[in-house]
Amino acid sequence: MIVDGDNLFQCMSRMIAEGCEPTENEQLLWDRYGETVAILIIDSSGFSRTSQRHGIVHFLTRLMQLRQICEAIMQQHHCKRLHFEADNAFATFNSAADAVRAALTLQRAVYRSGLMLNEQERFRISAGIGYGRLLYSETLEGYFGEEMNIASKLGEDVACGDEVLISEAVYRAASEVMPQDLQPCKVEISGISLSYYRYCFQPESPGVREVRAGR
């Protein structure tokens, strides 16, 4: 039923073609494709408005610089997999502590790089982190599971620029590396109630206004 070389979706398609219900073979799927990982999702602020005002090439030039910084930081923190999609980055780690350290280091590195979104506004990122058992498709589809969904909502929908939002599972698994000034928070989004912890990077210069990440 499970053939070597099949990714998750190929395996499920094969089950259906053979008259098997994937939900009845869920444990087989988890045994073959399940991984316990931390997922770090990074979003950038000002994509749509900057592209509209200054052109897409202006934004993409800065996005490429961000990616170079991101690749170096992720490698330093034992990133397992990293891929980019539009103005987002998706990084996975075996350790929740490594994911937290990577997110905090990246916030500082982007600030210290002097990367600017435009003449007046520095480039900012937000991050959401989840940790738990996920299904991996072994292709560009990536990871699936509750903590993936949580990290995505935190990093892309809830977080503002300069923020790192940490799921309850990450907080429990990596309590030894949690930054000071964490704020426990709750939010209702897409019909679900999420409890999480908020860290806001404090730049070395004052007078920075809050900018929501995303498009």
Q: Is residue 25 part of a domain?
A: no
Any residues with CB less than 8 A from the CB of 62 and at least 6 apart, and which? 115, 116, 117, 123
Task: Provide the pLDDT for residue 51.
Answer: 74
Q: Is residue 87 part of a domain?
A: yes
What CATH code is carried by the domain that includes residue 134? 3.30.70.1230
Longest CA span, the chain: 63
What is the phi/psi pair of residue 25, to 5°? -120, 30
d(CA 11, CA 28): 10
For residue 9, the one-letter residue type is F
Please list the helix, strand and coil fractions of the chain in percent, rounded to the nearest 5, in that order: 40, 30, 30
d(CA 215, CA 195): 24
Q: Is residue 1 part of a domain?
A: no
Domain with 116, as residue range(s), is 34-200
What is the phi/psi pair of residue 8, to 5°? -55, -45
Q: Is residue 205 part of a domain?
A: no
Task: Provide the pLDDT for residue 70.
Answer: 98
Q: Is residue 135 part of a domain?
A: yes
Give the tens place of pLDDT for each residue, 153-192: 999 999 999 999 999 999 999 999 999 899 999 999 888 8
Q: Is residue 214 part of a domain?
A: no
d(CA 127, CA 76): 18
Q: Is residue 194 part of a domain?
A: yes
User: How many domains does the structure of the chain reveal?
Assistant: 1
Q: Is residue 47 part of a domain?
A: yes
Reading the chain (215 residues) residue by residue, the pLDDT tens digits are: 677 789 999 999 999 999 999 999 999 999 999 999 999 999 998 777 777 777 889 888 989 999 999 999 999 999 999 999 989 999 999 999 999 999 999 999 999 999 988 888 899 999 999 999 999 998 767 999 999 999 999 999 999 999 999 999 999 999 999 998 999 999 998 888 999 999 999 886 443 344 444 43
Structure tokens at 135: 């299904």
